[in-house]
Structure 1
Amino acid sequence: MRRRTVTVGIVTLLFVVVAVQWTRRVPPMQTSLRMLAQSHVPGHEPAIPWPKEGQAALAVPGVGWMGQHGAETAVPIASVAKLMTAYLVLHDHPLSQGQDGPTVTITGADVAEYQHDVATGQSCLRVATGEQLSERQLLEALLLPSANNAANILARFDAGSTTAFVAKMNATAKQFGMANTRYADASGVNPATVSTAVDQIRIAEQDMTNPTFVGIVARKKVTLPVAGVQYNVDYALGHDGIVGIKTGTTDQAGGCFVFATRPNIGGQHVLVVGAVLGQQPNTPINNELMVALTAGETLAQAGDKALKTFSPLSAGATVASLSVPWGQSAEGVVGHGVSLVGWPGLNYRVRFEPKLPMRTVQSGQQIGTLVVQAGEETARVPVMARGTIGRPPVNWRLERSLFTAQ
């Protein structure tokens, strides 16, 4: 009787073990990346011809910074400040193609301001009492001949007063991460309006997303009711691929120039934005503005030349491995390659995002996504299985250790 009881116990135990082994959860497959997680665009890093003095920076929005030069210290920026003025006006009062926007009637106070600007040698727009200027015309006066009085008229139009408008300028600078920027006026004539080349690229990037702004700064001249023909002070416009955007000069700021190009790289037009600040005359006939323009053109040439498309992987490349404890395995391959924009030396990162959990895989099934990041640029490519992983065999289910999680 005792022997029979032991036998029944053993059989029961074996039944329990088999039941536990059979019903235990099958572990998900393990995945691993089959390429370097981080690398860089091949080739020699570009030698950027930075200006000898002042500060400068060069960036490709959506990709990253090509570099910067000089101390990132807040300095006067003169009329480059009008980039923020234009941004706020167009943000608060958008203009689409063909729209001129609301009109502003010039007052006696506006005329008095103009006369003061003339007397103090400022850049300004001739106006007359009763003259009506549209929002677009005032923006043209702001951005082409760089009229300081146009900046103040627009500030009052937008916020009711220049004080309220300057507060909005500073709040927006904080929003955009322009930590080294402080606006004291809407025009930049006040030397207390300070910033850095890096910060001015940040606001320029925002401006260049607005088609109205882009269209205005691309013009070489405009005709206004009282002032007549007004020319763009950006004399580099149209040279070395430059499509805008804003110059500035005062005794305190020296020569300043924020510029943009749109080179065709691999069939797509890529925006490049640069800035030079604090340029000083280098010959009796080469004033600070011309020095800034020349420095900007030189940087624009170098930036455009350095850009290229690169392919971190090609179609059919094996990028991942899949395996399971019962000995089966498969590969992860991409169906198409990746082409990104960058420059030699730019770091890029790769990671595999598997679809989890997976316990079986059929050949051709999507098993995850390969994410390639070059600077701020990201490409996502589906990864498909090459090979099949089936369910675990019976003997593996029964023989796996009871003391593991698998």
Structure 2
Amino acid sequence: MTDEFSDLAELMREEHELTDGLADVDPEAHLRRRRRRRIALLVTAIILVTILGTAGGYVAWALNAPLPAPATTSQQPAAPASPAAPIILPDGTASAISISGADAYLGPTAADIWATTGTDDPRPMASISKMITALVVLDAKPLADANDEGPTITFGKADHDLYDKYYVMGATIAPMPIGTSMSERQALAAALIPSASNYAEAVSTWAYGSQGAFVSAARRWLTANGLTGTTLVEPTGMSERNTSTPTDLIALARLAAANPTIAAIAATPSMALPGAGMVHNTNGLLGTEGITGLKTGNLGYGTYNLVYTASMDVGIGRPLQVVGVVLGDNTREGVDNDVRGLLSSIREGFHHVPVATHGQQVGEYRTPWGSTAKIVIAQEASILTWSDTPISVTMQTTTPKTYTDGEEVGSITWTAGPQTTSIPLVVEGSVEPPDDWWRLTHPEELGAPWS
């Protein structure tokens, strides 16, 4: 404005000199000139006041006008892929496995039969037969619970002679001195834990009066329980005519595991028994990979068998309940390796997949004046899944209130089967306001003051 005032002052000085010279020549002209000069000065002053007032109003508006919201860009991260779990199924044998408690991962039929190898043809059960014997004995002489010892059995000379009978046959046996007394539960334990054939025949004869009556009862019991693929001709499994299928043995294992007495005995590593002394479980896998039972059986090379149960904690909130069978391996070690490998591969198939890192950027806020801040994932995250179960991701964002560092602005969620993992989204950095110069020089970003 200094230049405008200077021009006005110069105009007034020139006008004054001119009119002073005219005053001496024509007084009327001089008066008219002075009136025009006063009018010009008044108009000029009004214009200057208007200009100054308008400029001051613009400055005040520009420095206080609302700012435009930062532009937001975001990109939902891709869901990671999970590799398929290599399940190690038994090789060269007939096998089946049932898994309860993981239908959401393994499928709705997993609790029936999840996987099989070989055929479902009948094969020699060997000493797995003793599990049927125990169930049929308990059908005639039930025990109240796992701690009920039941009636006392005293073994005589005929029972004692069974030791020699099965010794000659090469069966597993346990001492049975004449006059030995033990409870029903202990007798069943002698038949199941060390797999003593002499005790299996003795206790079944005690329960039914004769082997003929026992075998007839066993066949009725098998039919009543739908085990039509199973044949039992004697109580020990020494006969190759005692046969069953993998499917039937899965069903049989469920029945045995549901019986408190048999389940408790099958899970016992060793026990001291009257007359028989200390006996040890033939199932060397007890406690391995969560294995809780049930029964071994073998007739020599090519007929090593195992029916097993396991309770496996894989991190999904409740243990998996596993029932399985392997028939026809060449060695006991082969059976054990098959079962260990299968259960271990199932356990390892449940794994945590990394889905995000702390501070991973998924978006940005940017202003017209150049201030920026990031949208980031607040912490690292992973999700538990089974094998190659697909992982999906969804992201939701909200409009920030302050655009300052650490402000929560949404969430991101990953889903795999029934599992979900959610992590907050936060602002990293802060959106800073513009300086005064930017406000004064960018009215179009703020909006015209007269609009």
- TM-score computed with the length of structure 1 as normaliser: 0.61
Root mean square deviation, CA, Å:
2.7
Distance 1:153 1:95, change over 3 A: farther
Residue 89 of structure 1: how far off its partner (Å): 2.4
Residue 44 of structure 1: how far off its partner (Å): 6.8
Distance 1:58 1:102, change over 3 A: same
1:205 alignment partner, SS class: helix
Residue 77 (1) aligns with residue 125 (2): yes
Write the distance in 2 (CA, Å) between the matches of 1:343 and 1:86: 37
Distance 1:172 1:186, change over 3 A: same
**Structure 2 counterparts to residues 239-258 of structure 1, below 5 A:** 239-251=288-300, 254-258=303-307
Write the distance in 2 (CA, Å) between the matches of 1:138 and 1:240: 29
2:114 alignment partner, SS class: strand
- TM-score computed with the length of structure 2 as normaliser: 0.55
Q: Could you say which structure has the higher helix fraction?
A: 2
Residue 208 (1) aligns with residue 251 (2): no
**Structure 2 counterparts to residues 254-273 of structure 1, below 5 A:** 254-265=303-314, 266-273=316-323
2:334 alignment partner, SS class: helix
Write the distance in 2 (CA, Å) between the matches of 1:184 and 1:261: 29
Residue 234 of structure 1: how far off its partner (Å): 0.5
Write the distance in 1 (CA, Å) between the matches of 2:340 and 2:143: 31
The corresponding residue for 2:201 is 152
Residue 295 of structure 1: how far off its partner (Å): 1.4
Residue 198 (1) aligns with residue 241 (2): no
Residue 294 (1) aligns with residue 337 (2): yes
How many matched pairs?
268
What are the ranges of 5 or more consecutive residues in structure 2 without an aligned counterpart? 1-80, 102-110, 352-384, 390-416, 418-451
The corresponding residue for 2:413 is none
**Structure 2 counterparts to residues 7-406 of structure 1, below 5 A:** 47-61=86-100, 63-92=111-140, 93-251=142-300, 254-265=303-314, 266-280=316-330, 288-306=331-349
Percent of aligned positions that are identical: 28
Contact 1:103 1:134 in 2 (8 A): yes
Distance 1:163 1:344, change over 3 A: farther
Contact 2:91 2:117 in 1 (8 A): no
Amino acid in the other structure paired with 2:337: T
Write the distance in 1 (CA, Å) between the matches of 2:176 and 2:165: 12
Contact 2:147 2:261 in 1 (8 A): no
Distance 1:56 1:307, change over 3 A: farther
Residue 168 of structure 1: how far off its partner (Å): 2.3
Contact 1:274 1:300 in 2 (8 A): no
Residue 343 of structure 1: how far off its partner (Å): 6.4
Distance 1:115 1:241, change over 3 A: same
Write the distance in 2 (CA, Å) between the matches of 1:111 and 1:240: 38
Deviations 1:5-25 (A, max 9, x none): xxxxxxxxxxxxxxxxxxxxx
Contact 1:274 1:299 in 2 (8 A): no
Distance 1:195 1:44, change over 3 A: farther
Distance 1:199 1:43, change over 3 A: farther
Deviations 1:99-126 (A, max 9, x none): 2111111011111111111122211121
Deviations 1:163-189 (A, max 9, x none): 222222222222333232111111111
Write the distance in 1 (CA, Å) between the matches of 2:235 and 2:188: 13
The corresponding residue for 2:5 is none
Amino acid in the other structure paired with 1:60: I
Distance 1:254 1:61, change over 3 A: same
2:214 alignment partner, SS class: helix
Amino acid in the other structure paired with 1:246: K
Amino acid in the other structure paired with 1:267: G
Q: Which has the higher contact order (CA 8 A, sep 6+)?
A: 1
Write the distance in 1 (CA, Å) between the matches of 2:346 and 2:199: 33
1:240 alignment partner, SS class: helix
The corresponding residue for 1:326 is none
Which structure has the larger Rg over C-alpha atoms? Answer: 2
2:338 alignment partner, SS class: helix
Residue 61 of structure 1: how far off its partner (Å): 4.8
Amino acid in the other structure paired with 2:293: G
1:111 alignment partner, SS class: helix
Contact 1:156 1:165 in 2 (8 A): yes
What are the ranges of 5 or more consecutive residues in structure 1 without an aligned counterpart? 1-41, 281-287, 309-341, 347-373, 375-406
Write the distance in 2 (CA, Å) between the matches of 1:90 and 1:305: 38
Write the distance in 2 (CA, Å) between the matches of 1:157 and 1:43: 57
